[in-house]
Amino acid sequence: MKLLHLSDIHLTAPGSTIGGRDPRANFERALAHALKDHHDAELMVITGDLSDWGDAADYHWLKQRLDEYPLPVRLCIGNHDRRAAFLSVFPDLSDDNGFVQGVHDTAAGRCLFLDTAHPETHAGRYCDDRLGWLDARLAEHDGPFLLFMHHNPMPVHLAPLDQIRLLDDAPFRRLVGRNRSKIRHVFFGHCHLPLAGSVAGVPVSSLRGTNHASYPLFSETRLLSASDLPQSYGVVFFGEDYVTVHMVEYGYDGPIRIEGSPDYQAWDRETMVR
């Protein structure tokens, strides 16, 4: 089974840019690239920051675009999104408490989409109501589960990013830990970085977004760091006893060398042409 993971698309008004890049154009490029190579994916999940300013117009455009897309797509919201504006366009994605949370079954497991957004802050929260929803969903099914969320549920040891992580991450990790035998993987966004690790014994992964990229500048302790690294999306393969996660840098526009090409034939101990 194959799944596509996109994050941090940061849609803006037509023609507006972030870091010199057009989020709508780059999102369209990601959709086209993913469909060309992965039209057989069972599901696409976008783990928030869907809009850069939480404008309803961005959500209307996104809904229209996804309604036209031939693959099923599920959404999480992030710190740049506005829950009320989002739900005015996607009302069916609300849980009983008004959070953007839901369930979708796939061949690889039951997907749970979590709402870690908190008003007026870039940091994430997962309150008692949301924890209760997750606890109930994990209790009603034998699994396996795949969890999707926006904020990083563990420290990444980059101080500016950890200041805006999921701040009540410890209770979240305790709940995950109690159910670790049921949860195959946790996917998140927010950091705009390729990341891998584990939470309470459960593997996690993240990736750069479809527009602007961060950079792991460990010497900077206060301010977020940006770079011109390529835009990306994720491709995830599931087998019976494994999960393989790729970050596809579709924004890269340099050469790609195929083994057996003239460039490769010259790579030998005699010439060492590189």
In this predicted structure, what is the pLDDT of residue 270? 62
Parallel, antiparallel, or unpaired: how do β-strands 102-106 and 195-199 relate? unpaired
Could you tell me which of 47, 52, 48 has the C-alpha nearest to residue 12?
Answer: 52
Domain ranges of the chain: 2-265
Angle at 44 between CA 41 and CA 46, to 5 degrees: 160
Run means of pLDDT, 10 residues per run, the chain, 274 residues: 98 96 98 98 98 98 98 98 98 98 98 97 98 98 97 98 97 98 98 98 98 98 97 98 98 87 63 54
CA dist 112 → 57, 60, 106, 136 (Å): 26, 24, 11, 11
The single residue listed with the structure tokens 């690889």 is: 108
Instruction: State which fold the 2-265 domain adopts.
Output: Purple Acid Phosphatase; chain A, domain 2 (3.60.21)
Other beta carbons within 10 angstroms of residue 85's beta carbon come to 19
Tokens standing for residue 261: 């090409």
In this predicted structure, what is the pLDDT of residue 268? 61
194 three-state secondary structure: coil
DSSP symbol at 11: B
List b or e across 92-114, with b for residues whose CB sees 16 or more CB atoms inside 10 angstroms.
ebbbeeebbbbeeebebbbbbbb
In this predicted structure, what is the pLDDT of residue 259? 75
> Using CB atoms within 10 A of its CB, is residue 221 exposed (0-12), middle (13-18) or buried (19+)?
exposed
- For the entire predicted model, the pTM comes to 0.95
User: At 28, which amino acid appears?
Assistant: E
In this predicted structure, what is the pLDDT of residue 258? 81
In this predicted structure, what is the pLDDT of residue 264? 62
d(CA 99, CA 199): 23
CA dist 235 → 197, 225, 247 (Å): 17, 25, 7
User: At 23, which amino acid appears?
Assistant: P
